[in-house]
Chains A and B, each alone.
Chain A
Amino acid sequence: MSTGATLALQASGLCKHFGALHVTQDVSLSLQVGARTALIGPNGAGKTTLVNLLTGVIRPDRGQLFLFGEEVTATSAAARTRKGLVRTFQISSLFAQLTVFENIYIAVAQAAGRGFSIWRPAGRQRDLLERTEQLVEQLKLQSDRHQKVSEIAYGRQRLVEIALALALMPRVLLLDEPAAGIPSNELDLLHGAIDTLPREIAVLMIEHDMEMVRRFASDVSVLVGGAMLMSGTPGAVMSHPEVQSVYLGTAGKKRFDGALAHA
Chain B
Amino acid sequence: MITLPRDSILSRHQWRVGELLWLAAALASYFVFPQYLALGTTVLIMVVLVMSFDLLLGFAGVLSLGHAVFFGLGAYMAGWLSLAGWTEPVSAVIVAGIAAAALAAVIGPFLLRLTGLPLMMVTLALGVLVFEAAHKATTLTGGDDGLAGIQFAAILGVFEWGLGGATAYLYVLAWLCGIFVLVKRVVASPFGVMLQGVRENPARMRLIGNPVLPHLTLAYVISGAVAGVAGALFTQANAFVGLGVVAVDTSIDVLVMLVLGGIGGLHGALIGAPVYMLLKHFSSQWNPFYWMLIIGVLLMAVVLMGRGGLLGTLASWTRRPRKGQA
Contact = CB atoms under 8 A, between A and B. Distances in A.
A109 B209 CA distance: 11
Nearest to A107: B208
Contacts of B120: none
B2 interface: yes
A144 interface: no
Interface stretch (B23-31, B41-49, B195-203): B195-203
Interface in B153-210: 185-186, 188-194, 196-197, 200-201, 203-210
Contacts of A101: 4, 8, 10
B113 interface: no
Interface string A89-133: 100011111110110011101110011111111111110111011
Nearest to A168: B208
The size bracket of the interface on B is 35 or more
Contact of A106 (B2, B14, B185, B197): B197
A135 interface: no
Nearest to B14: A123
A121 B189 contact: yes
Contact of B192 (A76, A87, A98, A122): A122
Q: Is the interface of B mostly helix, strand, loop or mixed?
A: helix
B4 to A, nearest CB: 6
Contact of B186 (A76, A86, A94, A118): A118
Contacts of A119: 185, 189
A77 interface: yes
A98 B200 contact: yes
Contacts of A57: 203, 207
B196 A116 contact: no
A10 interface: no
B201 A129 contact: no
Interface of A: 55, 57, 76-79, 81-82, 86-87, 89, 93-99, 101-102, 105-107, 109-111, 114-126, 128-130, 132-133, 146, 164, 167-168
